[in-house]
Structure 1
Amino acid sequence: MVAGGATESNHAGYTGSGFVNYDNAPGGYVEFTVTAAAAGQATLGFRYANGTTANRPVDVSVNGVVRAGGVPFPGTGAWSTWRTATVTAPLVAGVNRVRATATTTAGGPNLDRLDVTVGTPATARPAEVNGQLRVCGTKLCNRYGKPIQLRGMSTHGIQWYAQCVKPASLDALAGDWGADVLRISMYVQEDGYETDPRRFTDLVHGYIEEATRRGLYALVDWHQLDPGDPNANIALARTFFTEVAARHRDKTNVIYDIANEPNNVSWAGIKSYAEQMIPVIRAQDPEAVVFVGTHGWGSLGISDGRSEQDIVNNPINATNFMYTFHFYAASHQDEYFAALTRAAARLPIFVTEFGTQTYTGDGANDFAYSQKYLDFLAANKIGWTNWNFSDDFRSGAVFKEGTCAGSTFTGTGVLKPAGQWIRERMRTPDDFPTS
């Protein structure tokens, strides 16, 4: 139901048949009917656009009771730029009336839709418990200043396996698996971003919104691989990260990984790139945590015959960032594990990619050495994302071939052995201290 507004479709990016444009007056409202299977707390996600620089606040009521007064709905930069504002409120079993009422003479924002998560308290969801993250010392800390470990999955290249990243699979990842973070792997070359920047940027925007709806952190992976020098793509990276950070700057669940696996490039070259790119993101999203890949394909230099000492002796001149490490347990054993152990004592580290197989993401699983790594990461609260959330033919893809064409992603029947193993370890309870 709409009063004091009209349904329109003259700005791009909306979903469905249009959006509601409030009249420029207080008192206009949009009312949604929400049916809940059981009474309980719910997260109400209002997707909106506000092309002005001033807030367009509304009061959110449920069944005639105001549950959130003056929700700000700040500017999004353009009427075609959409964000999500969330409110938590109790719902009754059965039919509920959720109303968003404008409170100022400017009216409300353009409202696209309402997404409702019912039955699980919002405080149980990782990104809503922990809020805006920051790097404190060598740890990733939540809004309470407490070190935490995030655990999750990386997509495969979204140019090849977008069919594996859809509502049913993400519901399974957040609910059945108990993940905390989704790594969005956007290749730059290899039929990726450079072939169609608009398409791939929009895919990333969509995946960030999907992660947000499920209370997950969204890790945006600039998956440069060949060429291995990230400086070769710096102009593209500036364009991409400027838009993504500007659109999602009001979210507290977005992390930026600006260089996947630098290779055939010196640490000094990576450092130079990072010191140029981190300010690009900070200009749009000042509080965001940024990740930077290390030399030797994310090995802290070991695969190049170097070591983490290159980084220790010449650290990146920035704050609120982490270095990344990758390992494949069947290939990367004692020398790599020792480097990680040394580095973790001195540097902020996040494992943005690992597998239980060889470095090709295929072959036999070495679950014993994988467990050695995971035990260390847990003991030191070092976060990780596993490669990869797809039905690729390789052993490192968690789903059996053909799974992504369907709609069933829960349980173990659809999983390869590596998928069963990693799901079991992700389902153990999180430790997210709040005091």
Structure 2
Amino acid sequence: MATAAAASLLAVPAPALVAATAAAEPVAQAVTRHQAENASISRGLVESNHAGYTGGGFVNYDNAAGSYVEFTVTAATAGPATLTLRYANGSTADRPLAITVNGTAAAGALPFAATGAWSTWATRTTPVTLAAGANRIRATATTAAGGPNLDRLDVETGAAQAGRPADVNGQLRVCGTKLCNQYGKPIQLRGMSTHGIQWYSQCVKPASLDALANDWGADVLRISMYVQEGGYETDPRRFTDLVHGYIEEATRRGLYALVDWHQLDPGDPNANIALARTFFTEIASRHKNKTNIIYDIANEPNNVSWAGIKSYAEQMIPVIRAQDPDGVVFVGTHGWGSLGISDGRSEQDIVSNPINATNFMYTFHFYAASHQDEYFAALSRAAARLPIFVTEFGTQTYTGDGGNDFAYSQKYLDFLAANKIGWTNWNFSDDFRSGAVFKEGTCAGSNFTGTGVLKPAGVWVRDRMRTPDDFPTS
């Protein structure tokens, strides 16, 4: 379906208790920021000897289990909230923290992995429930190494949480041929795929993600991490940490995070299975307590039999299940995600020999100017028998470039909406090709809202994302 130079597109970061109080700093609607140096600290010191912190410093935990930082957070009403802790961990080992709210465990042994240096800062996000009024949020070291250096706590509550896709729908599961929410109701998720993050990470930043969540009304961010082509295999630590960060950013905005193992060349996913085991073990282990993670274990298998893909999937799904028993897993179909059509096969290969697992979906890709009646017919047949998610599509040719066929694209999207089949569009970047939604040079700036920064394909897909699914709860 796609090739390395085509749809997925080659392109050119016990001492005494010490108490202090300070007013919370508002940073956005329903978000409050609390600096760690102004919290209550037990067995730790306020320091400022590593660059990159915010406020007046950061807390260096003592190397002792039980050392903690406790914040006082005021909530206008009782209800769900998202905590985001900014930290640095220059050691080589995880320094987990147990999070309690008013003395009740909210997240036990939440991992705070190494960031590479004490001046390299990252974030860790977790959902909690707050009471109306004052809340004591304590982050306690669970090992003798103590905690990471803690810079601040951001707390998102109330209006910023209401109606957000991942907050409404919660933990997803596959029910029959549909993707269902926590209430067992079929839903359709719609969103965008990043370009390869080895090339276009500058397009995935707070301003662009704010626009995607709030201006576009997206439900899901597909994080496209290539394995080859300058991607994961060149620096597994760097790319794994990039994905961790993007998951946290999606979580902060109430989006689902679709983690895309973007294998493309070689087309047989078994060639990368050892790398995939390592990557997905860490991703699933760290994010298993989140309810907004989806795992896509093979982007576009090609020049490989369906039996080979099935074998790979049946080895990889248990790797994820061992860490995250509830997470939904996606599996790419043969022929570059075409249900076999681009390999001269068909969906019957899958129907006759389905993957032996539950809570997973098969993926389909299309580029509307290239993939028309034969591909559409295969999707129509398969959707009646198989759980399908469209993890990649474009309105142009399979190269991700050329003229847009909006009429045939609309035919696909009408079918997907009628059948509650989710989709992510390729791609959320300012690449020169017509399939990149932003005009060239946009990602160097900070304005991503409205249509003025968009190419025609971007205007078209944004418009179709802004009318949300109804997300039934009863």
C-alpha deviation, 1:398, in angstroms? 0.2
Task: Measure the CA separation in 1 of the matches of 2:399 and 2:65.
Answer: 58
In the alignment, what sits opposite 1:253? 292
Task: Measure the CA separation in 1 of the matches of 2:131 and 2:112.
Answer: 32
Does residue 417 (structure 1) correspond to residue 459 (structure 2)? The answer is no
User: Are residues 121 and 300 of structure 1, via their aligned partners in 2, closer, same or farther at CA, if it must alter by over 3 Å?
Assistant: same
C-alpha deviation, 1:348, in angstroms? 0.3
C-alpha deviation, 1:86, in angstroms? 2.3
In the alignment, what sits opposite 1:3? 40
1:88-167 aligned at under 5 Å gives the runs 89=130, 99-101=136-138, 113-117=152-156, 120-167=159-206
In the alignment, what sits opposite 1:45? 83
C-alpha deviation, 1:45, in angstroms? 1.1
Task: Measure the CA separation in 2 of the matches of 1:404 and 1:245.
Answer: 30
Task: Measure the CA separation in 1 of the matches of 2:142 and 2:431.
Answer: 54
Task: Measure the CA separation in 1 of the matches of 2:179 and 2:376.
Answer: 20
**Preserved CA contact (<8 Å) 2:101 2:130:** no
Task: Measure the CA separation in 1 of the matches of 2:448 and 2:138.
Answer: 39
User: Are residues 78 and 347 of structure 1, via their aligned partners in 2, closer, same or farther at CA, if it must alter by over 3 Å?
Assistant: same
C-alpha deviation, 1:412, in angstroms? 0.3
SS of equivalent to 1:255: strand
User: Are residues 403 and 287 of structure 1, via their aligned partners in 2, closer, same or farther at CA, if it must alter by over 3 Å?
Assistant: same
Q: Which moved more, 1:264-273 or 1:119-128?
A: 119-128
Q: Which moved more, 1:72-81 or 1:284-293?
A: 72-81
In the alignment, what sits opposite 1:63? none
C-alpha deviation, 1:225, in angstroms? 0.6
For residue 109 of structure 2, what is the amino acid of its counterpart?
Answer: G
User: Are residues 393 and 2 of structure 1, via their aligned partners in 2, closer, same or farther at CA, if it must alter by over 3 Å?
Assistant: same
**How much identity, in percent, do the aligned residues show?**
75
Q: How many residues align?
A: 417
RMSD across aligned positions (CA): 3.2
Q: CA offsets per residue over residues 258-290 of structure 1, 9 Å max, x none?
A: 000000000000001001111111111111100
For residue 100 of structure 2, what is the amino acid of its counterpart?
Answer: V
Task: Measure the CA separation in 1 of the matches of 2:227 and 2:140.
Answer: 44
Long gaps (5+) in structure 2: 1-37, 88-92, 116-122
SS of equivalent to 1:171: helix
For residue 377 of structure 2, what is the amino acid of its counterpart?
Answer: A
1:268-283 aligned at under 5 Å gives the runs 268-283=307-322
**Preserved CA contact (<8 Å) 1:48 1:85:** no
User: Are residues 134 and 189 of structure 1, via their aligned partners in 2, closer, same or farther at CA, if it must alter by over 3 Å?
Assistant: same
**Preserved CA contact (<8 Å) 2:61 2:68:** no
C-alpha deviation, 1:114, in angstroms? 1.8
C-alpha deviation, 1:122, in angstroms? 1.7
For residue 70 of structure 2, what is the amino acid of its counterpart?
Answer: Y
Does residue 59 (structure 1) correspond to residue 101 (structure 2)? The answer is yes
For residue 59 of structure 1, what is the amino acid of its counterpart?
Answer: V
User: Are residues 260 and 103 of structure 1, via their aligned partners in 2, closer, same or farther at CA, if it must alter by over 3 Å?
Assistant: closer
SS of equivalent to 1:75: strand
Long gaps (5+) in structure 1: 61-68
**Preserved CA contact (<8 Å) 1:150 1:384:** yes
In the alignment, what sits opposite 1:201? 240
In the alignment, what sits opposite 2:104? 70
User: Are residues 240 and 27 of structure 1, via their aligned partners in 2, closer, same or farther at CA, if it must alter by over 3 Å?
Assistant: closer
C-alpha deviation, 1:75, in angstroms? 1.3
SS of equivalent to 2:109: coil
Q: CA offsets per residue over residues 150-198 of structure 1, 9 Å max, x none?
A: 0000000000000000000000000000000000000111111111111
**Preserved CA contact (<8 Å) 2:99 2:110:** no
1:251-400 aligned at under 5 Å gives the runs 251-400=290-439
**Preserved CA contact (<8 Å) 1:133 1:142:** yes
C-alpha deviation, 1:363, in angstroms? 0.5
In the alignment, what sits opposite 1:29? 70
**Preserved CA contact (<8 Å) 2:98 2:110:** no
Q: Which moved more, 1:261-270 or 1:75-84?
A: 75-84
**Preserved CA contact (<8 Å) 1:40 1:118:** no
For residue 127 of structure 2, what is the amino acid of its counterpart?
Answer: T
C-alpha deviation, 1:357, in angstroms? 0.2
TM-score by length of 2: 0.80
1:87 corresponds to which of 128, 131, 142: 128
C-alpha deviation, 1:119, in angstroms? 6.2
C-alpha deviation, 1:26, in angstroms? 10
Task: Measure the CA separation in 1 of the matches of 2:142 and 2:213.
Answer: 40
In the alignment, what sits opposite 1:65? none
Task: Measure the CA separation in 2 of the matches of 1:177 and 1:291.
Answer: 24
Task: Measure the CA separation in 1 of the matches of 2:307 and 2:355.
Answer: 9
**Preserved CA contact (<8 Å) 2:430 2:442:** yes
Does residue 169 (structure 1) correspond to residue 208 (structure 2)? The answer is yes
TM-score by length of 1: 0.87
